Chain A
Amino acid sequence: MEEETYLELYLDQRAAQDDLIRPRSPLPSSIVPFDVFMPNSSTPETAFSSLLEEVEEASGDFSSVDLSFLSDELTQENKDPAVARSKREIEESCKTPRQPLPSEQDAGPDLNSRLSNSHSHLHPGDADSVQPSLEKSTFLPLASITPMTPMTSVSECSGTVPQLQNVVSTANLACKLDLKKIALQARNAEYNPKRFAAVIMRIREPRTTALIFSSGKIVCTGARSEEQSRLAARKFARVIQKLGFPARFLDFKIQNLVGSCDVRFPIRLEGLVLTHQQFCSYEPELFPGLIYRMVNPRVVLLIFVSGKVVLTGM
């Protein structure tokens, strides 16, 4: 069928470009332990092992297994911009933010608890320590679990770090609120009970919006970091306090983080959906981007042909 020959041609082209690198990959004796998140859940392992098998079966495909067994000096070769490797590079560039975490603490249990605190994994500030993390991760005690797709820092070459764009959090003020009174006495509030059963309040610093419900729960959106979101939620609680309600500040929780980044090379979305079919959803008739639901970590990525990637989810 024409479609199959076209696919073969496309993969052959990529094969021709990558043949330079293939012969040099050493055998997987120096296994770089991959995922220190593993102890928390067993299902991601199986998901990744199935992914690994599926990726290896695809003929001519450059599974992340091949290139990730390269030793560090050979990672320079990875600057070769084979577009087919974009799939793997995206996965690894998205794993970049997680690398700094192992570098900060070597102690096993500490690492575990920090890693299970899932909302910190997209912090952009730590990305500078990417270089030493690779070496350090080999010595982590937790890392002796079956290595799946080993994590090389190909991201060092791409250097792309997702920037946080939005943080959504919730808090409980633990008192019943009179929304009409709040809408009357606060300058920055809007309340339209026929449309929505909550007051929409905005503050300038940090520039955020909150939905305040009569049960005393609030949803705070628009902050660009977790700390800013917490500060903003506290400010909203303080406004409610000043309006005469016995508001407290309980159960603050980050619900969602949204980040974006640019890998700076075009991405063949139809190729990506062929190799990662169980994770991808690509409907060009509906939406120009590809929706990649990554299993470990549980993140949803919107991948566009221009190389821009939006990451979201907890």
Chain B
Amino acid sequence: MPGGGRCPDCGSTELVEDSHYAQSQLVCSDCGCVVTEGVLTTTYSDEGNLREVTYSRSTGENEQVSRSQQRGLRRVRDLCRVLKLPPTFEDTAVAYYQQAYRHSGIRAARLQKKEVLVGCCVLITCRQHNWPVTMGTLCTLLYADLDAFSGTYMQIVKLLGLDVPSLCLADLVKTYCSSFKLFQPSPSVPAKYVEDKEKMLSRTQQLVELADETWLVTGRHPLPVITAATFLAWQSLRPSDRLTCSLARFCKLANVDLPYPASSRLQELLAVLLRMAEQLAWLQVLKLNKRSVVKHIGDLLQHRRTLVRKAFRDGTAETEPQEKELQEQGQGQGQGKEEVGGSSLDLPEGKRPASPALLLPPCMLKPPKRTCPMPPVPMVTGDENISDSEIEQYLRTPQEVRDFQKAQAASRAAMSIPHPP
């Protein structure tokens, strides 16, 4: 038995905690001698038999806290330890949970919601310290679905009146990329697929910044964009060996789940890179496509600021009077707001670079849906007369009522047949 006490009579260590009516006693299970009675001791030897009591039980702090709240707080601490968060995060998350628990709506909520609340408190703490944790990760850890999580999260942010900063993209790139198992050769990862972590991280960061600038990140889940960017960065660092590897295979190799939108983000990112490539003189002659542009990603990223400015124009630049002026001055080479002088580009005479595409989010570039023209709203005062005939069209004739009742009775009878009488 823990506690290491010995019976003074027979010397056995088999001491059992038993209670005699309301008094707890320590009794030797061999000879039956009562070693201690209650908590107060009479002799020095008695004191040696006392058991240790955990701090939380001795201070009584948990007596005011309900069991379900205690459970929740334990879950918060466990979750923080699983995520390997710094110790200060644990205290903050626990404080948020306690704060939330003071509201009656939370106290009366179902257990599932309280479980999800644990994740919400941890998420808020991480966001406030700019520690990148996605909601998807927390949902997987809590075995909760995203709908339940989102509802509770929005509610708790509003209830506690908290200011939660956005997910930090740069940090998320770092942690997410580091989780790819491509930095050491292993039986599943051949040597030609192994990559240096720093190089891949920096290139991925640049690609993600490029995606952000060209409207591929706003309004979308950040993770698929980072997956696509990591894939492109990895491919471009050794294109000759890696162009044959697909996105799905890449994720399997790296032991990372492939998020569903990642392939369409990849296509969008490649389209942006292709447009940028059209602005580089030495790439124009190569007539690149989506596969071959990967080999030149390094160059494109190096000059990305200039290339984006030249390859795209602001979507609303058409109405700008300045653009018209430029065109009138004959500077119109199809590039409206050109800030870099055309001298850096040695364009052969008579060859125009592709006219700049609109820099717009992909949802605005798709052809607009043909909305059926709304019938013009008639001017109604709300007090018009309502004709009887109009109302009567909504009422059943007596014959219809009888038919309907017969049909209902028949269907009820049909339903009740399987049941034995």
Contact = CB atoms under 8 A, between A and B. Distances in A.
Interface of A: 1-3, 6, 79-81, 83, 184-188, 201, 203, 205-206, 224-231, 234-235, 238-239, 242-243, 264-270, 273, 277-278, 281-289, 304-307
15 contacts: A79-B319, A185-B401, A186-B394, A228-B377, A229-B382, A235-B386, A239-B391, A239-B394, A242-B395, A266-B361, A266-B364, A284-B219, A285-B134, A285-B135, A306-B361
Contacts of A287: 150
Interface in B157-191: 157, 163, 165-171
A225 B391 contact: no
Given A81-B320, A285-B135, A277 B163 contact: yes
Interface of B: 134-136, 146, 150, 153-154, 157, 163, 165-171, 205, 209, 212, 215, 217-222, 314-317, 319-321, 360-361, 363-364, 377, 380-384, 386, 388, 390-396, 400-401, 404-405
Contacts of A269: 218-219
Contacts of A288: 219-220
A310 to B, nearest CB: 14
A162 B404 CA distance: 45
Q: Which of B209, B218, B363, B390 has the most chain A CB atoms inside 10 A of its CB? A: B218
A168 B388 CA distance: 25
Given A235-B391, A268-B218, A286-B146, A226 B382 contact: yes
B314 A270 contact: no
A264 B169 contact: no
Contacts of B315: 81, 265-266
Given A2-B205, A81-B319, A288-B219, 4 more contacts: A186-B396, A239-B395, A265-B316, A266-B218
Contacts of B168: 3
Nearest to A4: B170
Given A239-B395, A269-B218, A206 B380 contact: yes
B44 to A, nearest CB: 63
B381 A3 contact: no
Contacts of B393: 187
B136 A285 contact: yes
B169 A3 contact: yes
Contact of A270 (B166, B364, B400): B166
Contacts of A273: 166
A186 B393 CA distance: 9
Contact of B382 (A230, A243, A264): A230
Q: Which of B157, B167, B222 has the most chain A CB atoms inside 10 A of its CB? A: B167
A286 B219 contact: no
A225 B380 contact: yes
Q: Which 10 A-B pairs have the closest CB atoms?
A: A81-B316, A230-B382, A227-B382, A288-B219, A305-B219, A227-B380, A286-B150, A305-B218, A2-B170, A305-B361
Contacts of B383: 230-231
A305 B217 CA distance: 10
Contacts of A205: 390
B222 A224 contact: no
Contacts of A277: 163, 165
B319 A281 contact: no
A81 B317 contact: yes
Nearest to A290: B219
B221 A284 contact: yes
B394 A289 contact: no
B218 A270 contact: yes
Contacts of B220: 284, 288
Nearest to B136: A285
A228 B314 CA distance: 41
Contacts of A286: 135, 146, 150, 153-154
Contacts of B363: 304-306
A224 B377 contact: yes
Q: Which of A206, A239, A304, A305 has the most chain B CB atoms inside 10 A of its CB? A: A305
Q: Which of A206, A229, A238, A266 has the most chain B CB atoms inside 10 A of its CB? A: A266
Given A266-B360, A288-B219, A238 B209 contact: no
B167 A285 contact: yes
B286 to A, nearest CB: 30
A288 B217 CA distance: 10
A305 B321 CA distance: 25
B295 to A, nearest CB: 26
